[in-house]
Amino acid sequence: MRVTLDIGRFNPDAPNAKPYRQEFTLEVEDYYTVLDGLIRIREYEDPTLTVRCSCRASICGSCAMRINGHASLGCKTKIINVISKDGRVRVDPVGNMAPVKDLVWDMAPFWDKIRAVQPYLQPEGPEPQDEYIAPAEAMQHLVGVMGCIMCGACVSDCTVMEVDKNFLGPAALAKAYRFVGDPRDGAVKDRLKALNEYTGIWDCTRCMECVQACPKGVAPMDRIMALRDKAIVSGLHNTNGARHAEAFADLVKKNGVLDELRLVPRTYGMFNLMNMNAMFAAIPVGWRALTHGKLPPIIPHKLHGKENQDAVQHIYDKVEGHKP
Amino acid sequence: MAVYQHDVVVVGAGLAGMRATLAAIKAGSNVAMITKVHPVRSHSNAAQGGINAALTSRGDDWEEHAYETVKGSDYLGDQDAIEVMCQEAGAAIIEMEHMGVIFNRDEEGRLGTRRFGGQQRARTFHVADITGQAMLHVLYEQIVKANARVYEEWFVTSLVQDNAGAVRGVVAIEMMTGQLHLIKAKAVILATGGTGRLYEPSTNGLIVTADGQALAYAVGAPVMDMEMVQYHPTTLKGNGILMTEAARGEGAYLINKDGDRFMKKYAPNMMELASRDVVSRAEQTEINEGRGVDGCVFLDLRHLGKELIETKLSYINEVALDFSNVNLAEKPCPIRPGNHYEMGGIKTDVTGKTLVTGLYAAGECACVSVHGGNRLGANSLLDTIVFGRRAGEHAAAYAKTIDQVNIPDSVLSKDRDHIKALMDQKATSDTPAKIRLDMGRAMNEGVAVFRDEAGMQAALKAIRDLRQRYVTLGVHDKGQVYNTNLIFALELGFMLETAETICLGAIARKESRGAHFRTDFPKRDDENFLKHTVVTKGPRGPVISYSPVTITKWKPQVRSY
């Protein structure tokens, strides 16, 4: 099979260093991965091509890169599965992080975020003589998160980090979940409190990009949602995120449809002085909506017909565990 | 140029390196870890199946584990060292569990086990089939917790010695800037891993390039039993990627092209769970005698069922699908023996001390020796954490006895000149990659599962010719920042030096023992070769000598499975 790898490159040693693109066309076997192709170029065409890689088996996490615009591992992506009709594959460095040279990126901010979640077990009380007794299912469940190889693919494609560099991001939050979900950890409440702050679990917009990018099935967004549940269950209600979730559910339960006008103040908290600024900031948005005929109705709509209202009630009963 | 100084410097950040670092910190040392990749990229990641330990608190017998390790080693392992490892194994596992490793549990919530090769009893603790990764990431968590100093993506080019010959630090390139630095230390621990990339193909990652062995050898520390190179029985054909022994531990079969479980001919009692050298030879015999397909036999998991495969062997399930297009629940997977592990290494005692003052070694780059002629599956992780901890503790204690480090800053000049020569030399069409490939093929042909004099001599000659080619090698990339072209050239120098010691040790051992099987000397010869091969760098090249094997309880016997 003939493939043209179109590579986004960067040579920091060049005067006025700027990113540029270079194409290499090569003959490859069907089982070749994108990384195999890059290694081939590095070994036989251009030894200056630079990429981090080691295991070739999706376990060391070195070779995260963007392939046709989406982050993945070079060693886990077969060329045959991503090649275009005209025989091309586009390869770029990961997003949201600064390039160092070609496909090598600066990992320091990534690790800073990991460090920020206190990424180590904090058991309570004296250590037992033998192992901690822990339910087999709980440990098996954690294997799915421990499968994270810290490759950074999720961070590359995170749409929140694109606009807010302070967001802890999917990798660090998945790592945090690994401890919150660990029956041996004694600092769960403190962890959740910290994650409940700005930059934490409520800043995710649920775009699913991290789930799609993760080469190991860790599904970081699902872990973030699980952290939200755990935060609310543990009594941490005093955040925009928690209030938003509760108000959303409440309003739909009441009317059968969402009452967007009341969602905003309830999210910020009606009498929450800390959030007055945010409330005022919403006023121009409301004004523009009004002048463009987009303001939600002052008197909220209700779902028509008892049958429909019952159906919605039925959903709530089911989710909340009441008998219908 | 900045000069750095610490009590203990650990080179390498895999399981052994991080365990050593934590132990030295605990002992009160000022420690720094130097690693050419970020710690969690280290190759300990790739260990899949598990870690052995006899938990005596639940009735297992560490002496049984020790005996099986001795037998597995074909009586070449030092029995005092094996006793240390097996006796300390239980505490080491519990310690890892307390740090946070999410070992699989049994129904009562206690640590669960699986069976592994060469052992009668199930004593392999595991995290699905990502045990190495799970342990590596937890040790890194502890490194973060301890706020340890890590020189990340720094490549060590040489060890520095004081006037008396003691090792007192390292020279390293900071890859992000290309700057050369001197890091002074009272003691240095090498924990750089194995020799996998000397071979092509290999299960090992591209970073496994015998750096530590060559660094130690260069300052006069001898390497031992280097000819003992393990071929793992189940590796994928195309790229040599590993399929864990845990598959057979969970009950998978090995079959030939006729569907026969051929191990019944070679190891009627242990079958697929005989020692790795035995299974690899059996497979190669089947293939050589025409009962393979395309140079492979098959690993058959079909009878284990989809659920077991997806929960306990999910990683190899993923790998088989990705790289061989095989769904393990539906089809047997083509596999063959492939280069996997170096039993030999830098000669150390049970405290990690080498024969050069101030220099310690642990993990795969060291040879204590606990693996002898053949390592049991799941003993390598155990080796790393037991002897990593010991090396850390002893190096820290030794460092306390040293007041001053006297190294002139000018020691940098030798490395600087070598690097300048590589950078200045006009790059030709010959590249590090081409020389490495030629080396890998020569080793895989001459010093593999079955060996003979002519084949090994051919490999030795090939290596010596390649060393000539290496002298005129230049690098294409003339840049300063993250110059992997230069790093590969330096690694290649390490690999060629180490490859020669493997060939020499293999040629000198005129018998068959463990992984070293010679068709021209097919019998084990205890009278002449129950001894360690020791290779030391002399003024006119390598010098071979021998040292005795320590035997405590278990007299050599005929080895059958």
Does B194 score more than 70 pLDDT?
A: yes
Q: Which of A37, A4, A155, A48 is nearest to A94 (CA)?
A: A155
Look at chain A and report how many structural domains it folds into.
Answer: 3
* CATH number for domain B234-338, candidates 3.90.700.10, 3.60.15.10, 1.10.630.10, 3.40.50.1100: 3.90.700.10
Active site residue B441: no
Instruction: List the single best residue of A121, A151, A179 to mutate versus B (max B Cβ within 10 A).
Output: A121
CA B442/CA B451 separation, integer angstroms: 12
For the domain made up of B1-48+128-228+343-532, the CATH class stated in words is: alpha beta
Q: Give the predicted TM-score (pTM) of the model.
A: 0.95
274-313 in chain A: CB under 8 A from chain B: none
361-400 in chain B: CB under 8 A from chain A: none
Task: Give residue A4's Cα distance to chain centre.
Answer: 31
- Could you tell me the pLDDT band of residue A324, with boundaries at 50, 70 and 90? low
Q: Can you tell me which residue has the tokens 């679990």?
A: A201
Q: Do B479 and A53 touch (CB under 8 A)?
A: no
B127-177 per-position pLDDT tens digit = 999 999 999 999 999 999 999 999 999 999 999 999 999 999 999 999 999
Q: Do B238 and A31 touch (CB under 8 A)?
A: yes
Rounded to the nearest integer, the mean pLDDT of chain A is: 93
Domain containing residue A80: 2-105
User: In terms of residues, how long is chain A?
Assistant: 324
Kindly report the nearest CA distance between residue B42 and chain A, in angstroms.
7
A18-50 per-position pLDDT tens digit = 999 999 999 998 889 999 999 999 999 999 999
Kindly report the nearest CA distance between residue A196 and chain B, in angstroms.
22
∠ CA A68-A27-B442 to the nearest 5 degrees?
A: 115
B42-87 per-position pLDDT tens digit = 999 999 989 999 999 999 999 999 999 999 999 999 999 999 999 9
Number of Cβ atoms within 10 Å of the Cβ of A45: 14
CA B453/CA B522 separation, integer angstroms: 12
Q: Which residues of B197-216 are buried (b: 16+ CB within 10 A; e: fewer)?
A: bbbbbbbbbbbbbbbbbbbb
Q: Which residues of A touch B133 (CB under 8 A)?
A: 59, 146-147, 149
| ipTM associated with this complex | 0.95
Q: Which of B115, B123, B197, B276 is catalytic?
A: B276
Residues 6 or more apart from B428 whose CB is under 8 A from it?
Answer: B472, B474
| Alpha-carbon distance values, B541 to A16, B219, B347, B367, B534 (Å) | 48, 13, 18, 21, 14
Q: State whether A9 and A84 are in the same domain.
A: yes
What is the model's pLDDT at position B77?
Answer: 98
User: CB-CB: which of A104, A120, A143 is closest to B102?
Assistant: A143
Does A261 score more than 90 pLDDT?
A: no
B492-549 per-position pLDDT tens digit = 999 999 999 999 999 999 999 999 999 999 999 999 999 999 999 999 999 999 999 9
User: In terms of residues, how long is chain B?
Assistant: 561
Q: What one-character-per-residue DSSP string does B83-103 give?
A: HHHHHHHHHHHHHHHHHT---
B9-42 per-position pLDDT tens digit = 999 999 999 999 999 999 999 999 999 999 999 9
Kindly report the nearest CA distance between residue B534 and chain A, in angstroms.
30
B284-326 per-position pLDDT tens digit = 999 999 999 999 999 999 999 999 999 889 889 988 988 888 9
B401-444 per-position pLDDT tens digit = 999 999 987 899 999 999 999 999 998 888 999 999 999 999 99
Q: State whether A257 and A313 are in the same domain.
A: yes
Q: Do A78 and B322 touch (CB under 8 A)?
A: yes
Are B19 and B384 in contact, with CB atoms under 8 Å apart?
A: yes
What is the model's pLDDT at position B95?
Answer: 97
Q: State whether A68 and A131 are in the same domain.
A: no
Q: State whether A138 and A211 are in the same domain.
A: yes
User: CB-CB: which of B94, B205, B479 is closest to A55?
Assistant: B205
CA B42/CA B207 separation, integer angstroms: 8
Q: Do B37 and A134 touch (CB under 8 A)?
A: no
Going from N- to C-terminal start, the domains of chain B cover 1-48+128-228+343-532, 234-338
Q: State whether A26 and A70 are in the same domain.
A: yes
CA B260/CA B519 separation, integer angstroms: 25
Number of Cβ atoms within 10 Å of the Cβ of A316: 13
Q: What one-character-per-residue DSSP string does B428-482 give?
A: -S--HHHHHHHHHHHHHHHSSSSB-HHHHHHHHHHHHHHHHHHHT---S---STT
Q: State whether A98 and A112 are in the same domain.
A: no
Kindly report the nearest CA distance between residue B321 and chain A, in angstroms.
11
Q: State whether A225 and A265 are in the same domain.
A: no
Q: Pick from A55, A85, A105: which residue ends a domain?
A: A105
Q: Pick from A186, A212, A233: which residue ends a domain?
A: A233
Q: Which of A62, A59, A50 is nearest to A110 (CA)?
A: A62
Q: State whether A156 and A181 are in the same domain.
A: yes
Q: State whether A172 and A195 are in the same domain.
A: yes
Q: State whether A173 and A285 are in the same domain.
A: no
Are B240 and B522 in contact, with CB atoms under 8 Å apart?
A: no
Name the pairing type of β-strands B297-300 and B333-342.
antiparallel
Which is more confident, B286 or A287? B286
251-310 in chain B: CB under 8 A from chain A: none
Rounded to the nearest integer, the mean pLDDT of chain B is: 96
Q: Do A135 and B479 touch (CB under 8 A)?
A: no
Name the pairing type of β-strands B149-152 and B31-35.
parallel
| Alpha-carbon distance values, B560 to B251, B269, B522 (Å) | 21, 9, 15
CATH number for the domain harbouring residue A74: 3.10.20.30
CB-based burial label for B184 (10 Å; 0-12, 13-18, 19+): buried
Does B193 score more than 60 pLDDT?
A: yes
